[in-house]
Amino acid sequence: MFNRFINLQWKSFFRSSSFGKGLALKILMLFFGIYMLVFLVGAGIGLYFGLRKLFPSENPMWMLSQFLVYWVLVELFFRYFMQKLPVMDIKPLLNLPIKKSSIAHYILGRSGLSGYNLIAPFLFVPFAIVLIAHDYPILNVLIWLLGIFGIVLSINYVNFIVNKSDKALGIIGGLILTLYGLDYFGVLEVREFFGPIFHGLYQYPITAIIPIAIALIAYYLNYRFLKRQIFLDASLKTKSKEAKTSELAWTRRFGDMGPFLQLDLRLIWRNKRTKAQVFISLLFVFYGLIFYTQEMYANSMPMLAFLGIFMTGIFLSNFGQFIPAWDSSYYSMIMSQNIPLRKYLESKASLISVSVIVMFMLTIPYVYFGWKALAINFASAIYNLGVNIPVILYFGSFNKKRIELDKSPFGNMQGTSANQFLIMLPVLGLPIILFSLLSYFVSLEVALIALSLLGVIGFALKNPLLDRITEQYRKKKYGMIAGFKEKNN
Amino acid sequence: MITTHNLTKKYGSQLVLNIDHLEIPKGQSFGLVGNNGAGKTTFFSLLLDLIQPTSGHIENNGFQVNTSEDWKPITSSFIDESFLIGYLTPEEYFYFIGDLRGRNKADVDKLLSNFDDFFHGEILSQRKYLRDLSKGNQKKAGIVASFIGNPEVVILDEPFANLDPTTQIRLKAIIKDLAAKEGVTVLVSSHDLLHVTEVCERIVVLNKGEIVKDIQTSQETLKELETFFAG
């Protein structure tokens, strides 16, 4: 039986849609994967030396132990969002002659091998090797490592128990903030308190049993719960949220464009992935803080131009690059309906324009770092409005990959093709290069004027440009309809 | 109303549809039957300009479908769930379609009130998004949406599948009424021979992309079709 499960798992992995992706994307993902692994291993090795350097008088192991409590809490916090028990996968097994206990073991055991559990080993195994190389007692280090695995698995299974209520998330989040706050203001020596506990895993190897025991108990609790829940109407039921109807009557003021604007707003607010885009975009306002504050970047023109284009255009690129794939699940309806394609595109353009303006307003406080920042962001916003919006809409006509709106936004590559990488060249690269060259060879003022002027010209030509783009969408229509129908991409 | 001229559709070297000439007059209720892969959905997709014909063309009310878009205001359709917008409630969806077809909220509400029976209290004001409705209820919403805005041509692909018996009976009455009283040309495809013979004045049988039978429905039609498909 177990072999069969493993076989199933193997097939589901290698036949999954992510493996069916285009070669270019596959290679890119592979590189990204390797990069992550190398990064983790490097961090694991560097951890020892880093801690040595930062705290020369302290033992790295002791310092690490002091921070482990935060690792545990933060990982729990993130896993709450990222990792769910994939209960839906067992639906096809239900009507087969398989014992419920085997199904429960299968799904829980499988989660033990999930990618999230690999992060810690890739970090701590190299760290342990460095420790051994520095003449730490081998047995203690190895058993400490075992304890760490125990903690990882405990996090894994505790997460599934915790995952059932939203309150737990608040509690964990609150706990992290409180502990860190207490620690930071020296009210309570949190690290001093938890340090010895985690250090104990190393000092007294026998204590490694504790995390392993916790993992086993958590596993058992999950098992007992799950076994009782393997029914279609219990845990396997997909929860549906109660619909909130919204009138959005104000969109009427936009005339013919109104219905589409209404649809786009609902699209964004009612689907996880699009909603996440909005929040991500808003977060990127703070991106400037990283660079404006550093002397090295604050006076580099390419960097400033990048920040301007990027911050004011983050929603433009995040949302815009997937137009019209957002509407892919009902694109054939849109195409057979009595729809003026032009209005459809205009509505998207207006939505993005609003986002550019909002993002620009949010970046105004950066004037604190000098008028240059403000001026560049302003010119960038104009450029984004006039040039980048038509550009991104035009490139959208090459999108042929379906996006399933109700899929989780995390690590979701649906709809991504080589197109998405190509778009970034003209959208980000062109203005940055132009701006940098002009400001370097002529002057900052000229560069600012050139960027704004291009934007204004683009704005003036908006109508003919949109006509041209509409024509392009019309031409590509059949390919898009066929592409959007393919579910596995 | 609808005329096809030397219409063919090929995928690679495989000919999936080959209709030399087919004329559907205004106000006819037209049924399309055939086994899986016979070309029913291909024909409807061509009719809606969702795929390109390999040769030939279709005219809808005098407009050539793959070059003009003027047929769109008078034509409406429900092919499958991909015609629904999952994140809207049924009401919002109806109003959206209404907007596209120049009907305001009041017009749409008035039309919807005729379908209270058909909806059976499971569609309107349910506080559910279309994606969370059952397959059957999604279908009901999609079918009714295709009646919004007084279309002259209504295209329904497999409208009876997934519907409960009561709704099937109601739908049959609705389709008959549309064609008889309002002069709407209704095109229906189905696997259920009984339903089509009851609803449609004319039935065309497709087999491997070709028209093999073109029957004006009569008492004997069901028998005739059953013998054909049993063969």
Residues of A in contact with B72 (CB under 8 A): 336-339
Helices A341-363 and A258-270 cross at an angle (nearest 10°) of: 60
Could you tell me if A388 and A434 are in contact, meaning their C-beta atoms sit under 8 angstroms apart? no
Structural domain includes residue B27: yes
pLDDT at residue A398 above 90? no
Q: What are the boundaries of each domain within chain A?
A: 2-229, 249-485
Structural domain includes residue B163: yes
Q: A13-23, pLDDT tens digit by residue? A: 677 655 555 66
d(CA B2, CA B8): 16
Whether chain B has a CB inside 8 Å of the CB on A482: the answer is: yes
pLDDT at residue A410 above 70? no
- Nearest by CB: A333 against B83, B89, B129: B83
pLDDT at residue B11 above 60? yes
Could you tell me if B160 and B190 are in contact, meaning their C-beta atoms sit under 8 angstroms apart? yes
Q: Which of A183-187, A229-233, A361-365 has the highest mean pLDDT?
A: A361-365
A333/B85 CB distance under 8 A: yes
Whether chain B has a CB inside 8 Å of the CB on A338: the answer is: yes
Assign B121 to helix, strand or coil.
coil
Whether chain B has a CB inside 8 Å of the CB on A336: the answer is: yes
Count up the domains in chain B and report the number.
Answer: 1
Compute CA distances A285 → A356, A370, B91, whole Å. Answer: 12, 17, 37
Could you tell me if A111 and A85 are in contact, meaning their C-beta atoms sit under 8 angstroms apart? yes
The amino acid at A190: V
Residues of A in contact with B73 (CB under 8 A): 338
Q: B78-114, pLDDT tens digit by residue? A: 998 889 999 999 999 999 999 888 898 999 999 999 9
Whether chain A has a CB inside 8 Å of the CB on B124: the answer is: no
Q: What is the mean pLDDT of residues B42-65?
A: 92
Q: CA A82, A85, A89 angle in degrees (round to 5)?
A: 120
Are β-strands B55-60 and B210-216 bridged in parallel, bridged antiparallel, or unpaired? unpaired
pLDDT band at A489 (very low <50, low <70, confident <90, very high): very low
Q: Does the ipTM surpass 0.90? A: no
Q: What is the mean pLDDT of residues A450-458?
A: 94
B96/A332 CB distance under 8 A: no
- Nearest by CB: B96 against A259, A329, A335: A259
pLDDT at residue A137 above 80? yes
Lowest mean pLDDT among A26-30, A309-313, B13-17, B62-66: A26-30
pLDDT at residue A119 above 90? no
pLDDT of A409: 64
How many residue pairs from chains A and B have C-beta atoms closer than 8 A? 83
Sheet holding B63-64, edge to edge: B14-24, B2-11, B55-60, B63-64
B96/A336 CB distance under 8 A: no
Whether chain A has a CB inside 8 Å of the CB on B11: the answer is: no
Could you tell me if B217 and B203 are in contact, meaning their C-beta atoms sit under 8 angstroms apart? yes
Structural domain includes residue B88: no
Could you tell me if A364 and A437 are in contact, meaning their C-beta atoms sit under 8 angstroms apart? no
Residue A26 in tokens? 């596959």
Lowest mean pLDDT among A142-151, A405-414, A454-463: A405-414
Q: What is the mean pLDDT of residues B60-70?
A: 89
Structural domain includes residue B134: no
pLDDT of A426: 87
CA distance B229 to chain A (A): 30
Backbone phi, then psi, for A259, in 5-degree steps? -55, -35
The residue ranking higher by pLDDT, B231 or B138, is B138
The residue ranking higher by pLDDT, A413 or A124, is A124
> Whole domain around residue B201: which residue ranges?
2-83+151-230
Instruction: Name residue, tokens 């999230």.
Output: A116
Tell me the percentage of chain A whose pLDDT exceeds 90.
Answer: 20
CA distance A416 to chain B (A): 21
Q: What is the mean pLDDT of residues A130-137?
A: 87
| CATH (domain of B30) | 3.40.50.300
pLDDT at residue A105 above 90? no
Residue of A nearest to B92 (CA): A245
Q: A460-486, pLDDT tens digit by residue? A: 999 999 999 999 998 888 989 988 888
pLDDT of A225: 85
Instruction: Name residue, tokens 């302003």.
Output: A378
Q: Mean pLDDT across chain A, nearest whole number?
A: 84
- Nearest by CB: B52 against A267, A271, A478: A478
